Structures are given as C-alpha cells and as structure tokens.
Structure 1
Amino acid sequence: MTLDRNLSQALSPPRVRPLRVATASFIGTAIEWYDYFIYGLAAAIVFGPLFFPSVSPAAGTLASFATYSVGFLARPVGGIVMGHFGDRVGRKSMLVISLLTMGLATVGIGLLPTYATVGVWAPILLVTLRFIQGIGVGGEWGGAVLMAVEHAPERKKSFYGSFPQMGVPGGLILANLVFLGLTTNLSGEAFLSWGWRVPFLASAVMVIAGLVIRLTVTESPDFERVKKERSERRMPIATVLRENWREVCLSAGAFIGINAVGYIFMAYLLAYTTTVLELSRNLILTFTLIASLVWLAVIPGAAALSDRRGRRPVLLTGSIGLVGCAALLFPVIDTAEPPLILLALLVTAVFMGVVYGPIAELFSGLFKAEVRYSGASLGYQVGSILGGGIAPTIATGLYTNWSSTTPITLYLTGVTLVSLICVWAVTRRTR
C-alpha cells in the first residue's frame, strides 16, 4: 500500500501553487524594472553631462531621453522573439533568458566609459546596451503575466495577474531608494564621478537572486496542455497578426494612456521639477517614492475588485480618472508648492493602480493559449512605444520649443482619451 501511494505521488504532476508562482513573478519583474528605471533616473540626472557634454543642458537632457526611448523601440523585438519561443518552448525558459539579458546589459552600462574617455563611442555603447535592455524587458512582461494568470484559479486570475504588475512600482521604489540614498550621502561631484554607477553594478546581485527564484517554479499548466495536445503554432506571431490584429490594436491603444502618464510620472517629472522649477532633487525623489508605494498598494486591490465586480467598470473608472489626472497634473506641478505636487502625484498613482491592476488579465484573456505569449506581448509593447516610449522625449521637446507645459498637458490628455475609448471597446468585446 505504501509503495503504491509513493509511486502514485511520484508520477502525479507537481502541485500548482498560484501564490508561489505569482510571488516569483513579482520578484523577478521588480528586479527587471529596477534595471529599467535606474536608466530613466540616470537619464534625468547624469547622462546628459556625461555622455552628451558638447550640447546645451536642455539639449543634453533631450538627447539622454532619446536614448531612453531606444529601449522602447527594442521592446516589441523582445516581445516577438521571446513570445515566439514562449509559445513554442515554454514560458519559464523565456523568463530566465529575459532576466539574464536585462542583467548583463544593466551591469554593462555601469561599466561604460564616458564621453570624456572615449568620445563618441560612449553614447553609441550606451544606446546599444539600452537597446539590449529593451529586448530583455520586452520578453519579460508577457511571460511573467502568463505564468501568474495561467497558474491562477478561475475566479482570481485578475488578482494573481496583478503580481507582476506590482513589480513595476516595486522596481521603481527600489530604484528611487538606491538613488535617494546615493544622492543624500554623496557630494554632487562624487555622484557624477562614480556614484551613478553603483545602482547599475548592484543589479548583478539581484539578478542572481531572481534567477534562483525563477528556476524553482513549475511551467504554466496552459502551456503544458498545449504541448500535450500538440497544438503549438509554427509561427505564433503570424497567427496573431492574421487572426487577432484587432485585439492587438485595441490592447495597444488601451495601454497608451497609462504608459504615457506613468513615464512622465516616473522619469520626466524629475528632470522638469529640478531643472525648470529648481526644486530639490531629493524632495522629488521622495515624493515619487511615496506615490509609488500608493501605486503598488492600489494594484492588487483594484485587481481583486475586478475579479468580484468585473473588469469593465473598474477599468473604465480608472481610465476616466487618468484623463482627469492628465489634464490637471502639470497645472498643479507648476505651482511649485510641495504639498500640492505630492497631492497630484498621489491622486495620479491611485488611478494608475486602478487601471494597471486588472489590465494584465484583460490582455491575456484576449488570446488563445497557443499564441497568448506572442499576442499579449505584442499589444503591450506596441502600446509601450506609443505611450511611455516617446512620452519623456515628446514632453522635453514640447517644453523646449514652447517654454510652457500647456502643450504637454494637451498631449497627455489626448493619449488618455484615446486609451479610454479603446478600454471601452475592448471590455465591451470581452465582458
């Protein structure tokens, strides 16, 4: 009897632990987004003078944010390539590869010589490594979300799918803490000389920890079922573009608004408030950190509410709120009153969390398991290019040309309205 029971246990599939898988997705995603966000903070603070010293400070900031945008151009490449193999080979292996890719590129940036040492090769190498970062994070989101959602119970898919979503503010919080600690304890000269490298080099330790965690989780049951039924598609991306192009377009459009607002919130505001409004860098980093904590806390709550009440009312409420935030954010920021700035960031963070929490499960539910990695990744990454990928660069260019934040406000309001319409359309199709 004992022998039979032991044999049965050995042959049975491993027990699925949704919370363990979701937590592993959160930790790995937070590490990857830490890597991604420290670049944005460095672009706002040091990359201009170190890698583009021959131009004016404003042009240097614009150039550094342009290199920031290069990572977004690479994200669909990562999403397509890793989506292809994620739909054919497995979700888990692609998550390991994406984390390694991101980690190696990030450490490489920390080792780069500056313009003063190697001249024009410095920005060329910076752009190259930023492109590699984009490939890594482009393959990360789809795999992490699918691992969490596909392991989850049917009535809690949005909640578990929010765990990798929490990795985004989690990575931002970690990046802000590291930069805040360095800028507080180092002189401006020391930070510009060597201190900025520390966050990039520290990534090596976190990537190793993330790899250990990711290697312990089981493969997605949905993908295992696809393998068992031998229903894999030879070219998943081709199938998506042929059969699901509407879903890709709608999901990309739904994501543009929150991504644009998010990257203004996470990257551009630091540059604008410190260089134009001449506010304290540490003050803005602290405010961003507090708002990011609120964003992190709202995400799982909004996702759980979505499981109970439905995605449509939650996502529409959050999207309408984001339109309001887009219209009011810079008028409030321009008061240069710290309490009002903090309030604006906190309200924006709340509505970002309301949208960002349920949207992962929404995207994954638009595609069949055979092409889900490719389809969800493509929609998300195209939206990221049209949203956050160009938002800091557009905002910098608009302010440089007009010396006013009104054009930035009009731009943000426009893209959030586009997203509101797409959210209305895509939730109407899937409810």
Structure 2
Amino acid sequence: VVGLLIRFGIPETADFIEANKGEKRPQGPISEAIRTEWRAILLSALIRPGEQAAFYMLTTFAVLYGSKNLGLGKAFILNAVLVAAIVACFALPLFGYIADRIGRCMTYTGGAVCMMLFAFPYFALLNTRLPVAVVAGTIIIMLIHACLYGSQAAFIAESFPAHIRYSGASLGYQGASIIAGGPAPMVSLWLFETFHTAYAVAGYLAVMSFISATASLYLGRQKVRRELQTAWLSEPRRAGRATAP
C-alpha cells in the first residue's frame, strides 16, 4: 500500500514521457530490448550474484549453520539478523544518496569488492561463537548488502534507453534471481555438506561477488559509451563534420 501511494504520487520523468509519445512508443519492448540491449540485460543480471547470494545466505544458510552447527540457537541468530535488518533500513537510503553523489558504478563496484573481501572474515566471526562477534559480523555483511541494494535499482535502470527501460531492467533483474538468488541456499548447503566447512560457502560468496564487481565495471563502461554517443548525436551538425554512425 505504501509503495502504491508513493508510486502514484511521483510523476514520470521527462525522457520517459517523451519516449512514449505516439509513434515513438515501442510496439514490442521486450523483443526490442533483447535485440538491441542484450549486453545490458546480461550485465544487469551478472551484477547481482554477490548481492543475491549474500542475502539468501544470510537469511537461510547462516540461520541453519549458526543454530545447528555452532549451537548458538535459532532465536539468537534470527535476532541478530533482525538487528542487522533494522540497521539496513537506515543504510539503504544512505547508500542511495552516496550513489547519487559519487556515481552508481563506483558505489556498486566498491560494495561488491567489500563483499568479496568480507566473505571469509564473516564466517570467521560466526565460528568464534561469541555473541558480540556474531552480531557484529551480521551487521557488517548486511551493511555491505545495503551498499549494493541501495544503488542497484538506479544503476540497472539508467543502463537502458528510456523507451525500453522497464522491459530491459526487468529482464536483467529477474534473470539474476533465477541464476543466482534461487540456487544460493541449495548451493551453500551442498558446499557445506561436501567439504564440511563453512569456508567453502565463503569461497562461493567471494566468487559471486567477484562476478558482480567485474560485471559492474563493464555495465558502467557501457553506460558511459551510450551517453557519449547520445551527446554526439544530439549536437547540431557542424560544417565539415560527418554525423555519427
């Protein structure tokens, strides 16, 4: 309900209104997005594995691991996650603001690198079985997740032209849920049962975060190229200068 009230109260952006006027409205936005922006769709999906794996690992595997294998108790682990989620409520808009100030690509890539570096220390803190260390580790990894999630929506959306933005962003965003978010809990459990150590799960999170960081850099470069091309095409033709292809 709150989301609907906010959405209905926000006007559309000027470029979206312009892109959907009369004959400019795309007849097949999904097919056009796949045909013309397949790289952006793929990269939008590939920037999310680190964020997706961390979230589902934190809310599923960590709860099972902490309560069953570390003997910390399910109630304690759930309360630690709850405290971290409350902190994230304030961190999400903060990182959104930071992304607006320094750029989405820089914010997101930095968050992905931090997630990659913190994967092993996070499980090391859990393995201490010390309540303070467990809560601290849970809060830190949730803060890093907030850095990713707080800048993610704008980063993905601005990577597509206005006339196919909804379709392109949706394909990339939901594609990551299929390849990264859904399998994360099952992969985590399989790794733990196979190697009998949580550090195998940490390695999985680190790899997923590395993929996110790499894809983020490429997605940012593609956005810059599009902006430069748009600026070139929008300039009035000067004498003796050929138009851009």
User: TM-score w.r.t. structure 1 length?
Assistant: 0.49
Post-superposition offset of 1:333: 1.3
Deviation at 1:231, TM superposition (A): 2.1
2:105 aligns with 312
Deviation string 1:380-425 (CA, Å, 9 cap, x unpaired) is 1112222221111111122222322122111111111111111122
The correspondence of residues 6-405 of structure 1 with structure 2, limited to 5 A, is 27-28=2-3, 213=5, 216-217=8-9, 220-221=12-13, 223-405=16-198
C-alpha displacement of 1:279: 1.8
Q: Distance in 2 between matches of 1:306 and 1:214?
A: 21
* Distance in 2 between residues matched to 1:310 and 1:216, nearest whole Å: 27
Kindly state the Cα deviation for residue 224 of structure 1 after the two structures are TM-superposed: 4.3
Query: Residues 393 and 421 of structure 1: is their aligned pair in 2 closer, same or farther, counting only changes over 3 Å?
Result: same
SS at match of 1:230: helix
What's the % identity of the aligned pairs?
A: 26
Kindly state the Cα deviation for residue 215 of structure 1 after the two structures are TM-superposed.
8.5
Q: What's the CA shift string for 1:61-105, capped at 9, x where partnerless?
A: xxxxxxxxxxxxxxxxxxxxxxxxxxxxxxxxxxxxxxxxxxxxx
Alignment of 1:400-415 (within 5 A): 400-415=193-208
Output the CA distance in 2 between the equivalents of 1:356 and 1:388.
Answer: 13
Cα pair 1:258 1:387 within 8 Å, conserved: no
Which secondary structure does the structure 2 equivalent of 1:366 belong to? coil
- Counterpart AA for 1:386: I
Query: In 2, Cα distance between the equivalents of 1:387 and 1:268?
Result: 15
Residue ranges of structure 1 left out of the alignment (5+ in a row): 1-23, 29-209
- Offset at 1:305? 1.7
Q: Deviations over 1:210-230 (max 9, x none)?
A: 6xx478546635554444333
Letter in 2 for 1:327: F
Would the aligned equivalents of 2:33 and 2:167 in 1 still touch at CA under 8 Å? yes
Q: Distance in 1 between matches of 2:67 and 2:23?
A: 56
8 A Cα contact 2:59 2:81, kept in partner: yes
Question: Larger relative contact order (C-alpha < 8 A, sep ≥ 6)?
Answer: 2
Q: Distance in 1 between matches of 2:7 and 2:220?
A: 35
C-alpha RMSD of matched pairs (Å):
2.1
Distance in 1 between residues matched to 2:173 and 2:149, nearest whole Å: 12
| Change in CA separation of 1:399 and 1:364 when aligned onto 2, cut-off 3 Å | same
The answer (yes or no) to whether the contact 2:126–2:137 under 8 Å persists in 1 is yes
The 4+ residue runs of structure 1 with deviation greater than 6 A are none
- Distance in 1, matches of 2:103 and 2:29, equals 29
Residues in 2 aligned to 1:215 and 1:324: alpha-carbon distance in whole angstroms: 37
Distance in 1 between residues matched to 2:7 and 2:55, nearest whole Å: 31
- Distance, in Å, in 2 between the alignment partners of 1:253 and 1:339 is 34
TM-score, normalising length from structure 2?
A: 0.83
> Shift of the alpha carbon at 1:309?
2.0
